[in-house]
Each structure stands twice: as structure tokens, then as C-alpha cells.
């Protein structure tokens, strides 16, 4: 699962898929959440797109995993890969 999720280093997500994560989860970096809230308001903008990885959005690299370590995974399911569980050592 950890290797497959690495494909999220490239691509975009619609606001509706990550809104709850950036507004409600404690396991997200506050400055990262603030940046994402600028594109994804608390209501509306469901189809707004943002890159899964802000630093290298068009490169297939390990930045996705680096983001998880500093609590900057855009999708809740991605951030759960690095959340004091069995997958942490693989990330």
C-alpha cells in the first residue's frame, strides 16, 4: 500500500476530497492547512483543483513521502500511512 500510494507524488485533488482533512484533522501541519484553505474554502469550491505535492507537482520523486513525515499529506488516507503505525518505517 505504501508503494502504491507513492503515485500521489504527481496529480491533483479536488477540494471535496481533502476539505475535511485540512479543516478538521489534528494530524496536519497548520501552515500547510492554511495554504490549502486559500484554494479550498470551508464551503463551496468543491471542484477546485490543487496539486497533491506543492513543491514538485510534475516530478515523480520521493517528495510525497517527505511531505507525510512533516504532516503535509493532502489526503487523509495518505497521511495515515505516516501516523505512528506499522507503515512509518516504510515511509
**Which parts are annotated binding residues for Ca(2+)?**
9, 53, 56, 61
Binding residues for heme b: 8
Binding residues: 8-9, 53, 56, 61
Give 21's contacts (C-beta < 8 A, 6+ positions apart).
28, 74, 75, 76, 79
DSSP string, 13-32: EEHHHHHHHHHH-SSS-HHH
Q: Give the Cβ contact number of residue 69 at 10 Å.
A: 11
Amino acid at each position: 500500500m505504501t508503494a502504491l500510494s507513492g503515485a500521489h507524488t504527481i496529480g491533483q485533488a479536488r477540494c471535496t476530497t481533502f476539505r475535511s482533512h485540512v479543516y478538521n484533522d489534528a494530524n496536519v501541519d497548520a501552515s500547510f492547512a492554511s495554504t490549502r484553505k486559500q484554494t479550498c474554502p470551508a464551503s463551496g469550491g468543491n471542484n477546485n483543483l490543487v496539486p497533491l505535492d506543492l513543491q514538485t507537482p510534475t516530478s515523480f520523486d520521493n517528495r510525497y513521502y517527505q511531505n507525510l513525515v512533516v504532516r503535509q499529506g493532502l489526503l487523509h488516507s495518505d497521511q495515515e500511512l505516516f501516523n505512528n503505525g506499522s507503515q512509518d518505517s516504510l515511509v
